[in-house]
Amino acid sequence: MLEEKTTKKQNFLAGAAVLSLATMIVKVIGMFFKIPLNRLIGEANYGYFTTAYDIYTVLLMISTTGLPVAMSRMISEARALNNGKQVRQIYRVSLMAFLSIGIIGSALMLLIPKQLANMMENPNAMWSIFALGPAVLFVCYISACRGFFQGQGNMAPTAVSQIIEALCKLFLGLGLAWLVMNRLGDGPLAAAGSIAGVTIGTVLSALYLFCKTRRRTRELSRAEGQARPAGETLKRLLAIAVPITLGAAGLQIINLFDAATVMNRLINAAGYTQERADVVKGVYNYCQTIFNFPCAFIPCITIAIIPAITNSLTLQDRRGVRSVQNSSLRLMGLIAMPCAVGLIVLAEPIVALLGGYTGANLTLATKLMAILGVAVVFNSIVLMTDAIMQAHNHAVIPVINTLIGGIVKVIVNYILVGNPDIAITGAPVGTIACYAVITVLNLIAMRRVLRRNAPKLLPNLWKTTIAAVLMGGTTWLAYWGLGRIGMGRAVACLGSIVVAVLVYVVLIIVLKVLTYEDCLLLPKGEKIAKILRVR
């Protein structure tokens, strides 16, 4: 029995590791895409690119947030009961639901791009919205396939498909943007060209997953078990998916409204011209791109823990549930804490090197980045606590908490961004307020509904927090020292990052952040435990 529990948790950690590695590759590719893109088309045109993404993200959240989680949970339950035919039925029903939503989402972006751009107070984003339209349909299909494999504990197809999308975006997106800028010199069309690479990437990713899924569903047609009626399966799927989708879509709709509000307040309250508002919004959007880098690793853990927790709950393995939850929180802390501190301490050199900012835009980007660094911690905790409650079938609570946090964000941004002395700097403050409120509400809710199964945050995070703070102090001293001896900004930044990594690894060992049980779940676990001197 103990060996079976260990194997399950190993599968969870292996899945998280596969997705984390893929995410790292995708983010590096994304960095090589967005950094030159920002310099190639300029801040204002980059703002058109991100405006299209804001709308796309809302439609994406509606179509791909709740259903993959519901699929993953239901498939995990069916697998725990060795019902292969029901696994296949869940996929078939889910696919039809995904495609229906995808058709509607794509139709909106293709038929009314001008109206959507005007709604965002950014008319020049029209062509970017149109170019991204077909991607909604293909991403819906992709999400169905990913949910199918994730529920079975197989994260490899998700990882490969993500890399295919990223590579297409890099080569085709940059190539099309460069071609338009050099041939036509049209910034809005160049932004649309860059985003067309994203759409092509979703098409190729969908083709890859079609081949993988077709083979697996044929195998399941010969599996054991009894499939439930399609109507019953759909009803249960929607019962799980709708609350999660409402929460995610609600926050994204609030973010969409908030983005339009920010532009409106900059122009009508803070006294910015449209051109200046486009530029500062583009700077803020770019800082958000960097902010999203560390946050993107947390869903790798949440995707893996939902089927793992569901499996343990189905088998009434309470100890296994708590074990997975505690390990996932420690893993989250290992990633989120140092990233947050690093973005705060090295905000100026990071935005200068990655964004190419100088002068007033560099000063602005530094402030925005440092504030967003704080938000990384709260955002990561929100993602983890949401996933834990979803796995325990308490999906409505995170919805309510998320909507409350989103409303707080709109109010804070409306007040601060409209102040000429604060302006765009108020936007990341609103982000912190949003995620801090959701964090507090989620923690209170977990204590109330999960009781003894509620994970304890501080016991799992205090060591990584101390390690990250000490690392941050050392990193700042290293950057300051390298600058004093005449090193350039790039060398000083890279050198201080190397120092940060080394110091953080040493502190993890000294503070014994990983438990002996965690080490045993890793490859060569006994040796790792001895190296880390963990017992």
pLDDT digits (tens, 9 = 90+) for 45-84: 777 777 887 777 777 776 667 788 788 888 888 887 888 8
- 344 closest CA partner among 383, 317, 371, 379: 371
* Predicted local distance difference test score (pLDDT) of residue 450: 87
Separation of alpha carbons 415 and 261, rounded Å: 11
Asked whether the predicted pLDDT for residue 116 surpasses 90, the reply is: no
Domain boundary among 428, 455, 482: 455
pLDDT band at residue 15 using 50, 70 and 90 as cut-offs: low
523 lies in the same domain as 438: no
> In sequence order, what E strands does 32-119 have?
none
Average pLDDT, the chain: 83
386 lies in the same domain as 431: yes
Asked whether the predicted pLDDT for residue 321 surpasses 90, the reply is: no
Question: Mean pLDDT over residues 336-343, rounded?
Answer: 94
Asked whether the predicted pLDDT for residue 97 surpasses 90, the reply is: no
* Predicted local distance difference test score (pLDDT) of residue 531: 63
Separation of alpha carbons 448 and 389, rounded Å: 11
Q: Which of the two residues, 128 and 220, has the higher pLDDT score?
A: 128
Q: Write down how long the chain is.
A: 535
Question: Mean pLDDT over residues 181-199, rounded?
Answer: 83
* Predicted local distance difference test score (pLDDT) of residue 526: 60
- 479 closest CA partner among 378, 341, 381: 341
Q: Which of the two residues, 12 and 496, has the higher pLDDT score?
A: 496
72 lies in the same domain as 189: yes
Q: State both tokens at 327.
A: 């390990």
Domain interval for residue 471: 462-535
* Predicted local distance difference test score (pLDDT) of residue 516: 62
Question: Mean pLDDT over residues 235-245, rounded?
Answer: 83
pLDDT tens across 362-411, in order? 999 999 999 999 999 999 999 999 989 888 888 888 888 988 998 899 89
Asked whether the predicted pLDDT for residue 17 surpasses 80, the reply is: no
pLDDT band at residue 442 using 50, 70 and 90 as cut-offs: very high
Instruction: Calculate ∠ Cα 476-28-247, nearest 5°.
Output: 90
* Predicted local distance difference test score (pLDDT) of residue 7: 47
Question: Mean pLDDT over residues 258-272, rounded?
Answer: 85
Domain boundary among 440, 455, 470: 455
> Which of 15-24, 313-322, 369-378, 388-397 has the highest average model confidence (pLDDT)?
369-378
* Predicted local distance difference test score (pLDDT) of residue 445: 93
Asked whether the predicted pLDDT for residue 265 surpasses 80, the reply is: yes
* Predicted local distance difference test score (pLDDT) of residue 510: 86
483 lies in the same domain as 355: no
Separation of alpha carbons 192 and 198, rounded Å: 10
Residue 458, CB half-sphere, CA atoms under 13 Å: how many?
1
Q: What percent of the chain is predicted at pLDDT more than 90?
A: 24
In sequence order, the 6+-apart residues with CB closer than 8 A to the CB of 477 are none
pLDDT band at residue 501 using 50, 70 and 90 as cut-offs: very high
pTM of the model: 0.74
Q: How far is CA 343 from CA 29, 35, 379, 493, in A?
A: 20, 17, 14, 12
Separation of alpha carbons 87 and 4, rounded Å: 22
Phi, psi at 488, each rounded to 5°: -70, 170
Asked whether the predicted pLDDT for residue 3 surpasses 50, the reply is: no
301 lies in the same domain as 403: yes
42 lies in the same domain as 78: yes
Q: State both tokens at 49.
A: 């690119």
In sequence order, the 6+-apart residues with CB closer than 8 A to the CB of 473 are none
Domain boundary among 423, 455, 487: 455
Question: Mean pLDDT over residues 118-131, rounded?
Answer: 83
446 lies in the same domain as 509: no
Number of domains in the chain: 2
- Alpha-helical runs (H) found in 296-425: 298-314, 318-345, 347-355, 359-391, 396-417
* Predicted local distance difference test score (pLDDT) of residue 370: 94
* Predicted local distance difference test score (pLDDT) of residue 2: 38
Separation of alpha carbons 402 and 263, rounded Å: 23
Phi, psi at 399, each rounded to 5°: -60, -50
Asked whether the predicted pLDDT for residue 199 surpasses 60, the reply is: yes
- Alpha-helical runs (H) found in 112-229: 113-119, 126-150, 156-168, 174-183, 187-220
* Predicted local distance difference test score (pLDDT) of residue 528: 62
Question: Mean pLDDT over residues 321-334, rounded?
Answer: 86
375 lies in the same domain as 514: no
289 lies in the same domain as 322: yes
* Predicted local distance difference test score (pLDDT) of residue 251: 67
Q: What percent of the chain is predicted at pLDDT more than 70?
A: 91
* Predicted local distance difference test score (pLDDT) of residue 294: 82
* Predicted local distance difference test score (pLDDT) of residue 488: 85
User: Which range, of 8-22, 96-110, 192-206, averages the lowest pLDDT?
Assistant: 8-22
114 lies in the same domain as 184: yes
- 218 closest CA partner among 91, 121, 386, 115: 91
355 lies in the same domain as 496: no
Separation of alpha carbons 91 and 76, rounded Å: 12
466 lies in the same domain as 376: no
Separation of alpha carbons 295 and 208, rounded Å: 27
